[in-house]
Amino acid sequence: MNLLRKILFPFAILYGLITSIRNFLFDKGILKSTSFDLPVIAVGNLSVGGTGKTPQIEYLIRLLSNKYRAATLSRGYKRKSEGFVLADENSNAEILGDEPFQFYQKFPDVQVAVDANRTNGITQLLSQNVKPQVILLDDAYQHRKVKAGFYILLTSYDDLYADDFMLPTGNLRESRSGANRANIVVVTKCPKNLSEEKQAKIRLKLKLSCSQQIFFTYIDYDVEIYGKDEKISVAEIKSESKLLLAGIAKPKPFFEYLKNENDECLTFPDHHHFSDADLESIQNKANGRKIITTEKDYVRLKDSKLVSQLYYLPIKSTFINHQQNFDVSILQYIKENLEP
């Protein structure tokens, strides 16, 4: 695979040129970006793969939902519906996509919508009887047809965009210079005890401007797993033989947090739609043992034949330091841009 990526280097140069021209045209106003008269916060990354967008969006929902009418707008990756969909009691992961459905289930007071056309999606949200006061755009950093008022760029600690290259040689969707659009950069999935010295080295490597802020977060796991009708402490389940199941981009930390030497780990592609054959295979491998999966996978599996032995482990994004500064920046932006 590494050799193939090197062979494809000329295509990476071409792809980088195309995305740079596209960004230039948006920057100069030659290609149209639509702005809206309410606070719009875009969360995304420069690379493909998991950087922790879902827990970051959930952090923002927790920060904002008690103060404002908040809405999330996602593309709804791999959903089986078309166009604009606003979540309701009839929604499921196939209609919304797994991450938006997870938002809807966890935060029933928040409007959750999906639309690949973010301009239309925002317009539709603003046409509802109850209009949101702030909209969170999930995975929309490259969606420049909407001009968000505030951009949060995520980059993983062990896969910084500064160390990466353009697709298909690397994993970048656009040039590293795209980071210049960010108001805030969040380095995600850090070691919990990341030192100030190492944080300073990353700041230097990313070469942010003086107007940009940088924060460091780690993935914080729950102390309990949850099934349909019960919850069990992680301390108790760690010693038990079980099947660990993940269909996410980077499952290694999830496995390492829960597994013991008797466990079996089963990996599927990110956003995988589980077929009947998959479910049969999983059940056979579990052989009566508990099946523990990620929260994102659970929303796709909770109505399947596995439900009686299925559990999930919630995660959240936690700041290593300076959390209050992050919160103040977000709340100040909203305060300054919210119509009275």
CA 86 – CA 97 distance, rounded (Å): 12
- Confidence grade of residue 49 (pLDDT, cut at 50, 70, 90): confident
> What pLDDT is recorded for position 1?
59
> What pLDDT is recorded for position 244?
98
Q: What is the side-by-side strand order in the sheet with 85-86?
A: 85-86, 111-114, 70-74, 134-138, 40-45, 150-156, 184-188, 213-221, 315-319
Mean pLDDT of 95-117: 96
Q: 228 φ, ψ to 5°?
A: -60, -40
Mean pLDDT of 135-154: 97
pLDDT in tens, 201-223: 999 999 999 999 999 999 999 99
Helix (H, G, I), strand (E, B) or coil at 55: helix
> What pLDDT is recorded for position 242?
97
pLDDT in tens, 268-318: 999 898 999 999 999 999 999 999 999 999 999 999 999 999 999 999 999
Global pTM value: 0.94
Mean pLDDT of 7-14: 90
Helix (H, G, I), strand (E, B) or coil at 179: helix
